[in-house]
Structure formats: C-alpha cells, structure tokens
Amino acid sequence: MHLLRLGLGRERAVQSLRAYLQKYHPDFLFTIGFAGHLAPEPMESCTLFAVEKIFSTRSKTNLAVPVHPDFRFLPRASLLTSDEPVLKTEEK
C-alpha cells in the first residue's frame, strides 16, 4: 500500500497521480478527500462512501467507477469535482 499526497489544485493532483501511475500499477485506488454534501437529507460528518460515478464541472460526460469488492459494504455516492468551491445553495 502506498500513501500519495497529490497536492492542492487540479494541475498538481493530475501531475502527481500521473507520475505515480507510470511508476506503479495498482489494482485499485483508495482516495481520501474533503467534500461538501449536495443532497437535501442530513448526513453525519466523517461519513465514508464508495463512489460509483464521477461528474466534473469541466466536462459534460461522467465516469462510471467499479467498486472494489472489499468496499461494497460502504454506502454508494456520486462525486462532483469542481475547480472552484461551491459556496451558495443555488450553485449546487
């Protein structure tokens, strides 16, 4: 297992991850990050999710992500990435 610190910002994250993947070829990635919550129902802080789809404000397509069998016990979620913070309710 490796712990990789990608850095802040999309450019640094992409560069760091690309260099890592060229050197190592993992069977799966486990990423940890900080995120807000867009769904209307309440959620406890520090909740872990298995991400099934990734959406980006930079693209109109989405990416389906297979969930590794070891993490199927986690609740499922979709992830929205954005270069800018989403601060207002209407931006969600």
> Minimal CA–CA distance to 64: which of 82, 78, 48, 81?
78
Q: In whole angstroms, what is the distance from residue 90 CA to residue 1 CA?
A: 40
For the chain, the domains span 1-30, 33-91
Query: Residue 3, Cβ neighbours under 10 Å: how many?
Result: 6
pTM of the model: 0.61
- pLDDT tens digits along 10-59: 788 788 888 999 999 888 777 776 677 777 778 788 888 888 998 888 88
Place of tokens 């872990």: 48
